[in-house]
Structure 1
Amino acid sequence: MGRGPRPDPATALDTRTLREAFGCFPSGVTAVCGMADGRPTGMAVSSFTSVSLEPPLVSVCLQLSSRTWPRLRESPRLGLSVLGEEQGSVCRALAGPEEERFAEVGWESDDGAVFLHGAVTWYSCTLRAEVPAGDHSIALLQIDRLWTRPASEPLVFHGSRFRRLENHGRAAEPAA
């Protein structure tokens, strides 16, 4: 492995520096949605990860200051939609005013979970646990059902921008 210059050392461990460092790691964008008071409610998160195959578990991290999560956590089912590469506008809508988030977004509901049209994958989940983690809460969700479109490309968030995966015609190395 080649050795290049070391990254510049951080002079202070502050919020701006941490946000910049965390932004160096690309992530997908997932919508967490459910029905609340008879209306679709949801938000976008970039901290979604698989946890376990048996039982099937995933997690998302949610800011404690969120006004949406307290309403979503009461839903018997939550829909997680992994956004597709053309859904940057959907992500921006989910970050906007709550009453306008679903105005231009195609969605459907199944047993209280809300799923967004055009997503790469839908997970129907049940909240199993929440773990306090600094200024966030980690929600552990059990997958009850899923639908996937494996040929579709996900929306990627990196460096505070939406990006696309690029295929240069090379076969990917198999995972170990």
Structure 2
Amino acid sequence: MTLTASTLPAIEVDPRRHFRNVLGHLPTGVAVVATSGPDGPIGMAVNSITSVSLDPPLISICIARTSSTWPRIRSMGRFCISILAEHHEQTSRRFAGPDPDRFAGASWRSQSGGPALDDAVAWLDCDVYAEYAAGDHTIVVAQVRDLGSTDDGRALVFFRGSYGTFAPHEQI
């Protein structure tokens, strides 16, 4: 018997899982968003950071509406984004997990917006500018107040459910 589309059994596809799998083909950077709270540093991992505007300098991040960390960061009005380096996979996992002491073992310095990881490839000090409800996430727009980067090191990248890194082609 030859199988054709009409003789194959129907396979249910979870539309959310399919959406996530397809968009997983877009590599994203990995970062930590952090602020200094009354009881110490507060932070969380994010992988959706986008440049929004040059004048004024704005970026956006997307936060799950179920996040219990974001309301605590938002209440401070400022935060620092650390763009993670290739060796930060475990740091990313820790900041994405439920452990409340996410800064344990992390080496960081205080920026005006909050803690910045010492060996991140870049950092941005930000003020909350606006928030927009978007499905099961909140789009946070932030105004960049200060920023810096290093010329060495490679950024941590998330692609198709796995961590990796990016190395640019050699310039000709």
Which residue in the other structure is 2:22 paired with?
A: 21
- Structure 2 residue aligned with 1:171: 171
Q: Deviation string for 1:36-70 (max 9, x for gaps)? A: 22311111111001111111000000000000001
Task: Pick which of 38-47 and 135-144 moved more.
Answer: 38-47
Superposed, 1:49-128 pairs within 5 Å as 49-128=50-129
Q: CA deviation at 1:120?
A: 0.8
Rg (Cα) greater in structure: 2
Query: Can you give the 5+ residue segments of structure 2 that lack an aligned partner in the other structure?
Result: 1-10
- Aligned alpha-carbon RMSD (Å): 1.8
Asked if the contact 2:113–2:125 (Cα under 8 Å) also holds between the matched residues in 1, the reply is no
- In 2, the alpha carbon distance for the partners of 1:155 and 1:104 equals 19
User: 146-155 or 108-117: which moved more?
Assistant: 108-117
**Conservation of the 8 A alpha-carbon contact between 1:31 and 1:45:** yes
User: Matches of 2:99 and 2:73 in 1, distance apart?
Assistant: 12
**Number of corresponding residues:** 162
Equivalent-residue separation in structure 1 for 2:97 and 2:142 (angstroms): 25
Quick one: percent identity of the two aligned structures?
A: 38
| Partner Cα separation in structure 2 for residue 166 and residue 126 of structure 1 | 31
Separation of aligned partners in 1, 2:155 and 2:147? 16
* TM-score normalised by structure 2 residue count: 0.87
